[in-house]
Structure 1
Amino acid sequence: MPLQHQAARVANPVIPGFHPDPSVCRVGDDYYLACSSFEYFPGVPLFHSRDLVHWTQIGNALDRPGQLRLPASMPSSGGIYAPTLRHHDGRFWLMVTNVAEGAGNLIVTATDPTGPWSDPVRVPGVPGIDPDLAWDEDGTCWCTFAGIAQVRIDPTTGQTYGTPRKLWSGAPGAKAPEAPHLYRVGDYWYLLIAEGGTERGHCVSIARSRTPTGPFEPCPANPVLTHRSTDHPVQNTGHADLVQAHDGSWWLVFLGVRPRGGTPGWHVLGRETFLTPVTWEDGWPVVGEVALDLPAPPWPLVPGPAEEHRDDFGLSELRPTWISLRDRSAEHCSTKERPGWLTLRARGDSLDEPDVVFTGRRQQHLACRARTLVDPSEGRGGLAVRLDERHHYAVEASGGQVRVIARIGSLRTVVATRPVPEGPVVLGVTTREPAPPHGPCTGPDVVCLGVEDPDGTFTVLAELDGRYLSTEVAGGFSGRVIGMYAAAGTVHFDWFDYEPVGR
């Protein structure tokens, strides 16, 4: 072997936090990956890697209002679902569904994955979600979508030809056949799908045919990936995509969750992107070990730039990791109004409102710490851990007072208050494991919210059960986002710092 691995094992998930529905493609020695973004703007985060293990976000495919409109009337967990990212004929193609008010399927393209991406081409002839693009030998493009159905398409115009036809429904009796991806491997076309629903029964199955249009023969070992009815630490495994590496080996990216706590187990970071190797036996893929510490691939690892935990808002535009609720207008979110500060101008009057001005980053670690210096002299706002409008915790400042607010379902309460000196104040959030002893009713984590005193001492004002900010309680498809918001007037933030606590 030319070089030893830098590590015998590498951390899995390879893209932690709320990064579901991964789709991957390779161009030479470079790998690119896209994920769903739901109600957040900009949409469809894009990542680059040289080793399939270390991923760096390079942008967002839908980063202009002309590409992505998410109205306030759209509920949380609506919006952008399940992209497919492909490279064909010298161009990147991304097809995705915007479920907001029936906006439907769209295609954007780019010659450089960092952008700019094109204005959307609408595809009204594709009625389902989870669209896939695949080209056969004569250049015909096929779009396969949840159902599992297929139609011929011109991806440059969005024109479809003929009526969509059913291809394969997965296992008999399995619900929600979705997330199809079609590939040519050797003499066969392979149709990879997810089924069983995106909860604990989620799984991956595959079928093959001599032609891209079928008929498809199911793999006798289906499902080829599932952790249902097991105590594996990674659950809800599904919505996968295959990629052949630069050395000829095969790999699978897929979504999964890490439930914690007692029964039934709660996952709080959302559905994350995992990686596992694939081998082929008798013309079928065999999915390898799924572990939180994955065996390192058989090539030198290429770490990307070190993650920047602190943002001093010194750039004219926000980094691509920052996401906002439904839109991000310069009127309500700017780093230019007060140089070196993020300025948020309120619209909705609390995090309970769908049009609240909120800008945050995905929580990516089970234990983490976030801090921000907020100047509430012109308004009211603070730091929040958000799942949706009905499930969030916040520490908020205004008028010489800091308060902790909890919204759990239909209940909203001020948990704690404390007077503080007028002027800027440091607010903070920490998540940690619950104190022992642990039992069947122990939650997944504790969310601590508080304020920093003038002498630098951090005072926790409230410790709240993290289970109420989990998908198992709230429902939906997203994960936690930690960020800043304005609920009245204009609120300025000098810096934001996020870091893991332990692994």
Structure 2
Amino acid sequence: MSSYQNPVIGGFHPDPSLCRVGQDYYLACSSFEYFPGVPLFHSRDLVHWRQLGNVLDRPSQLWLPPGTPASAGIYAPTLRHHGGRFWLITTLVGGGGTFLVTAERPEGPWSEPVWIDLPGIDPDIAWDEDGSCWCAFSDSGIRLARIDPRSGAVLDGPFELWSGTGRKYPEAPHLYRIGDWWYLLIAEGGTERGHAVSIARARSPRGPFEPAPANPILTHAATDRPIQSTGHADLVAAPDGSWWMALLGTRPRGHTPEFHVLGRETFLTPVRWVDGWPVVGPVQECHPAPSPLQPVEPEPVRDDFDEPALAPRWVSPRARPEGSWSTTDRPGWLRLTATGDTLDRPGHTFVGRRQQHPECRISARLDPGAARAGLSVRLDEAHHYDLEVADGEARVVARVGPLGQCLARRPVPPGPLTLVVDVRTHDVLPPGVTAAEQLTGEPLGVRATGPDTISFSVLPGAATQPVRLAELDGRYLSTEVATGFTGRVVGMYATRGSADFDWFDYLPALGRRG
């Protein structure tokens, strides 16, 4: 029997919601303060996913003011297919609240938002047999309202539903009609290490709901499993009658309390039904796969910026003004023009992608001209490491909370040069460090106990061997340090003038070249 590896969508892809249309599966995730918003994926086997685009890809659909805090923005969408259309409902936290958009095709175009006058977060959408549309959501417990999905009008409610087993933060409700029962799946315990999945059922979406006798049906709390924070789940039935659960989880590493740096990722686990209740085993790194597997074409390692539009994996904090980027001013290059003079405040020019693997190499060919530009590994404006070029030198700058410092600098000749960022976990010893030194902490000291090491190098001119400038502990770019709901995003930026990038490579370590 074939198997698959978790996570099925690595990196900062939390709060998965999925639906099936015939033989095809579609999945959407939260995007928080990044634009475009709500990445949308397609699969034929639940394991191999290809990003089709982003649901909210126009400023008219998603406008995030410069003052939008990190980890605000778009929370927890629910994706469904009903009446020949795709429906997605979500919440803009710090903005207009709950809204929904629709599309005939998952690739779009998706409609302008229809706003719904409901409080809370994590809205769900479901239809009864008589055509009634129900919206369950989290607001100091799980509540339910009947809505008109085309106008956004609230027709009935909201009123309280079942809110779990008493753990904190009951959220992420999903209503399903399965057989003669309505099932209400929720998350509780908080999205940190206490996260859990619980379920109840009733004969009507209004309830009353009876809880499953084995609640929570899934949690990794208080275990030593490598996958933690399991929760915020959604269920789907495959054409062969098997059932599956998509959910978020994290992969913390390093010394206690351990640190997760990639954000909350999307995992997949099988579901059995016993006596009318779903039974879910622990989420494994490797599971028997749905059959048959249908791999998709892998994402290219290199982006040469030969197309007028950017690929859907590229995101920017809050906005991407038209004048801040171009692939046509210098064909075959991405030109970034500064809109702010620092990465420490919102309003800067940054184009990045999610870090999706614990170990990877990120590199880019930069022609800085008279600009100040480079590569950044970021969690938010207060937590980022930058490799930048300006005024004839390359330097490494670290921002951790209120502290910012230039840690290394080196003169570089004018003209294009290659910037390299390597991320390595501590399962692999850093160069020149013995196993005994790793265990005792000497000479690396406390640095060796973090989740990974991030090193920064340059290849000036036509050089073929990188020159290392600095090596930094990755724990300071983790959720446990920075807080929040996102994960690392790596990419290119400009904070003065205009700079050109010829290409950008993202290479997982297992496929590393050279």
Verify same fold: TM over 0.5: yes
Contact 2:374-2:419 within 8 A present in 1 as well? yes
Unaligned runs of 5+ in 1: none
Deviations along 1:399-437, one digit per CA (max 9) or x if unpaired, are: 210000000111000000000001111111010023352
Aligned-pair identity (%): 62
* Structure 2 match to 1:340: 332
Deviations along 1:172-227, one digit per CA (max 9) or x if unpaired, are: 2x110000000011111000000000100000000000111100101110001100
* Structure 1 match to 2:301: 309
The code of the aligned residue for 2:78 comes to T
* Structure 2 match to 1:210: 203
* Structure 2 match to 1:378: 370
SS at match of 2:135: strand
> In structure 2, what is the Cα distance between the partners aligned to 1:342 and 1:153?
44
Contact 1:42-1:64 within 8 A present in 2 as well? yes
The code of the aligned residue for 2:219 comes to T
Contact 1:399-1:422 within 8 A present in 2 as well? no
Correspondence for 2:44 among 50, 56, 71: 50
* Structure 1 match to 2:28: 34
* Structure 1 match to 2:86: 92
Question: Are 2:85 and 1:107 aligned?
Answer: no
Q: CA RMSD in A?
A: 1.1
Correspondence for 2:284 among 275, 291, 316: 291
> In structure 2, what is the Cα distance between the partners aligned to 1:119 and 1:227?
39
The code of the aligned residue for 1:310 comes to R
Correspondence for 2:57 among 38, 52, 63: 63
Structure 1 residue 75, shift from structure 2 partner: 0.7
* Structure 1 match to 2:237: 244
Structure 1 residue 329, shift from structure 2 partner: 1.7
* Structure 2 match to 1:14: 8
Structure 1 residue 439, shift from structure 2 partner: 7.3
Question: Are 2:341 and 1:349 aligned?
Answer: yes
Question: Are 2:170 and 1:163 aligned?
Answer: no
Correspondence for 1:390 among 382, 387, 397: 382
* Structure 2 match to 1:466: 474
> In structure 1, what is the Cα distance between the partners aligned to 2:439 and 2:304?
39
Question: Are 2:413 and 1:413 aligned?
Answer: no
* Structure 1 match to 2:120: 128
The code of the aligned residue for 1:46 comes to L
The code of the aligned residue for 1:465 comes to D
> In structure 2, what is the Cα distance between the partners aligned to 1:369 and 1:439?
28
> In structure 1, what is the Cα distance between the partners aligned to 2:316 and 2:464?
30
Deviations along 1:269-295, one digit per CA (max 9) or x if unpaired, are: 000000000000111000134111121
> In structure 1, what is the Cα distance between the partners aligned to 2:325 and 2:70?
20
The code of the aligned residue for 1:497 comes to D
> In structure 2, what is the Cα distance between the partners aligned to 1:397 and 1:495?
16
* Structure 2 match to 1:443: 450
The code of the aligned residue for 1:55 comes to W
Contact 1:277-1:289 within 8 A present in 2 as well? no
SS at match of 2:371: strand
1:321-340 alignment runs, 5 A limit: 321-340=313-332
Question: Are 2:269 and 1:269 aligned?
Answer: no
The code of the aligned residue for 2:422 comes to T
Structure 1 residue 296, shift from structure 2 partner: 1.3
The code of the aligned residue for 1:278 comes to V
SS at match of 2:322: coil
* Structure 2 match to 1:425: 417
The code of the aligned residue for 1:443 comes to G
* Structure 2 match to 1:175: 168
The code of the aligned residue for 2:182 comes to W
> In structure 2, what is the Cα distance between the partners aligned to 1:337 and 1:160?
48
TM-score by length of 1: 0.96
* Structure 2 match to 1:192: 185
SS at match of 1:132: coil
Question: Are 2:86 and 1:78 aligned?
Answer: no
Number of equivalences: 493
> In structure 2, what is the Cα distance between the partners aligned to 1:209 and 1:364?
39
Unaligned runs of 5+ in 2: 430-434
Contact 2:75-2:93 within 8 A present in 1 as well? yes
